[in-house]
Homo-oligomer: A and B are copies of this chain.
Amino acid sequence: MTDSRRGAARTEAIMRTTLELGQEIGYAKLSMEAIAARAGAGKHTIYRRWPSKGALFLDSLLSLYKSSLDYPDTGDIVADLRTQIHAAVDLLGNPPFGPLYQALVGEAQHDPQLADALNERFIKPQADRTVARLKAAQDQGQLSPAFDLGLAMAILSGPLYFQFLITQEPLTHEYVDRVLQVLFTGMGKPS
Binding site for B on A (CB under 8 A): 26-28, 102-103, 105-110, 112, 115, 118-119, 123, 141-148, 150-151, 153-155, 157-163, 165-168, 178-179, 181-191
Contacts and interface: CB of A to CB of B under 8 A. Distances in A.
Contact of A147 (B108, B157, B167, B182): B182
A166 B156 CA distance: 13
A41 to B, nearest CB: 26
Taken together, the copies of this chain in the complex come to 2
Contact of A161 (B142, B145, B162, B187): B162
Given A105-B109, A106-B107, A109-B103, A154 B163 contact: yes
19 contacts: A26-B110, A106-B109, A118-B166, A144-B186, A144-B188, A144-B190, A146-B185, A151-B179, A154-B162, A154-B163, A154-B167, A154-B179, A155-B182, A157-B158, A157-B162, A158-B160, A161-B161, A184-B188, A186-B188
